Amino acid sequence: MLKDYDPLMEYAVGVDIGGTKINAGLVTPQGDVVHTVSLSTMAGFTKTVDRAIQAIQKLMSEVNAMHAGIQFKGIGVGTAGQIDWESGSIRAASELIPGYAGTALKAWLQNQFQLPVIVDNDVNVLALTEKYLGSCIGVEDFICLALGTGVGGAIIVEGRLVHGSWGGAGELGHMSVDFNGPACVCGGRGCLEHYASGTSIARRMQEKLTTHSLPLYNLDSREVITRWRSGEPLATEVMEDTTAALGSAIASFIHIFNPKVIVIGGGVAEAGELLFEGIRREVGRRTMPAMLDKVRIEAAYRGNSCGMIGAALQVWEYGVPSLSSYNKGFI
C-alpha cells in the first residue's frame, strides 16, 4: 500500500540524479514521500537519461499497480551538472557521469511520459526543500552551500531561486578565497572548493602526511574529521584552513546578498557543531557587524530524500500546464 495515499490529491514525481544512484519518488505538495524506487546510475555503462526513464517507469508501474488512475501533476528533476534552465538540458557535467553533457533531459522525459517536466541543478532543488521543510520556512533571502565531492550553492532572493542568464547562477564553490591560491579545474585560483569539499579535505591531509614523511592511508574526509575531533595536529591544520575559507566566502555572501540564513549541508557538514562553531567564529571576524546582525548559520535539512523532495516541489513552485494538456499516467 502507498503510505498516506489520498485519491483526491495530485502528486508529482521527483527524480534525484547523481553519479551513483537515481532516486525517484511520488511526492505530495507538502513534501511527503509516499512511494520510492532507486536504481544505480550505471554511469559510463549506459545513458543516464535511459536509467532515469527506467526509474520513473518503475515508480509509475508500482504506483499504478496499487492505485490505478493516480494523478501525476508533473515530473521534477534535480541532477548533477550545470543545467540550461530554459531548455532543461545538461550544459556541462563532470567525469562522474561520462557523456551526460548535452543531454536534452527535459525533452526526452517530456516526450516519453507526456507530462510537464522541470529540470534544475541538484543544489537548487535542495534549496526548495529548505524553503518548505527545513531551516528557511518563511525566509525570503537565504544561501545554500552543499559541501560534498565538490562545493555547490544556491541563492534565494525575495523567495525565488536566482538562476542567472541561463541557469548557472550559484556556482559558489568557485568563488575565490585566495587570488594567489592553487589553480582550480574551473580556470580560477584559490576557489572555495579547493579548501571546503570532502575531496579537497582528504587530498590536503594526504599532502601533509607526505610532507611530514608519515605513513599514507587511503583517507577520506570523514577520517580527517574524526582525527580533527580527537585533536590530531595535522587534521586540525587542515580543518582550520577549511573553516577559514568557508568563513571568508560566507562573509562575502553576506555582504553581497544580505541573507537572513546561510544553510550548509553535504557530507562535510556532518562534522557537526565543531565545524559550525568554527565557521561562525570566522564569519564573525570577517563580516561588518551591521550586516551580520541576526544572520543564522544553520545545518541543512537531513535525510536521503531531500533531493528527490526538492525536485518534485519544483512542479508547484514554478507551476505547470494542467494535466488536460497531457496524457495521464505513463507510456
pLDDT of residue 328: 42
Are the beta carbons of 70 and 34 closer than 8 angstroms?
no
Q: At 64, which amino acid appears?
A: N
Q: Do residues 34 and 95 lie in contact, with contact meaning Cβ atoms separated by under 8 Å?
A: no
Confidence at residue 63, expressed as pLDDT on a 0 to 100 scale: 94
Q: Is the pLDDT of residue 57 over 90?
A: yes
Reply yes or no on whether the pLDDT at 7 is more than 50.
yes
DSSP one-letter code for 86:
T
Supply the pLDDT for residue 331. 37
Q: Can you tell me the distance from the alpha carbon of 151 to that of 94, in angstroms, rounded to the nearest whole number?
A: 13
Is residue 298 within 8 A of residue 62, CB to CB? The reply is no
Q: State yes or no: pLDDT of 217 exceeds 90.
A: no
Band the pLDDT of 2: cuts 50, 70, 90. Answer: low
71-105 per-residue burial string, b: 16 or more CB within 10 A, e: under 16: ebbbbbbbbbbbbbbeebbbbebeebbeebeebbb
Q: Which pLDDT does position 67 carry in this prediction?
A: 83
Q: How many CB atoms lie within 10 A of CB 61?
A: 12
- Mean pLDDT of the 72-78 span: 96
Mean pLDDT for 311-315 is 97
Q: What is the pLDDT of residues 127-153, one digit of tens each?
A: 999 999 999 999 999 999 999 989 999
68-75 average pLDDT score: 89
107/84 Cα distance (integer angstroms): 12
Res 325 pLDDT > 60: no
Residue 260's pLDDT is: 98
Cell 524506487 belongs to residue? 37
The pLDDT value given to residue 219: 87
User: pLDDT-derived band of residue 286, with 50, 70 and 90 as boundaries?
Assistant: very high
pLDDT at 324: 47
Percent of the chain exceeding pLDDT 90 equals 84
- pLDDT at residue number 321: 63
- Which carries the bigger pLDDT value, residue 71 or residue 93? 93
Would you state the pLDDT for residue 330?
39
Question: What CA–CA distance (Å, rounded) separates 224 from 201?
Answer: 7
Give the lowest-confidence range in 165-174, 248-257, 301-310. Answer: 301-310
The alpha carbon dihedral of 36, 138, 157, 144 has a sign of negative
Average pLDDT of the chain to the nearest whole number:
92
Tell me the mean pLDDT in the region 187-211: 95
Residue that is written with C-alpha cell 594567489 in the block: 180
> Could you tell me where the beta strands, DSSP code E, fall in 18-112?
21-27, 33-40, 72-79, 82-84, 89-92
Please give the Cα distance from 113 to 90 (Å, whole number).
Answer: 19
Q: DSSP class of residue 214? A: P
Order of strands across the sheet that contains 261-265: 160-161, 151-157, 142-147, 261-265, 296-299
Mean pLDDT of all residues in 269-297? 96
How far apart are alpha carbons 235 and 229 in whole angstroms?
9
End-to-end Cα, the chain, rounded Å: 23
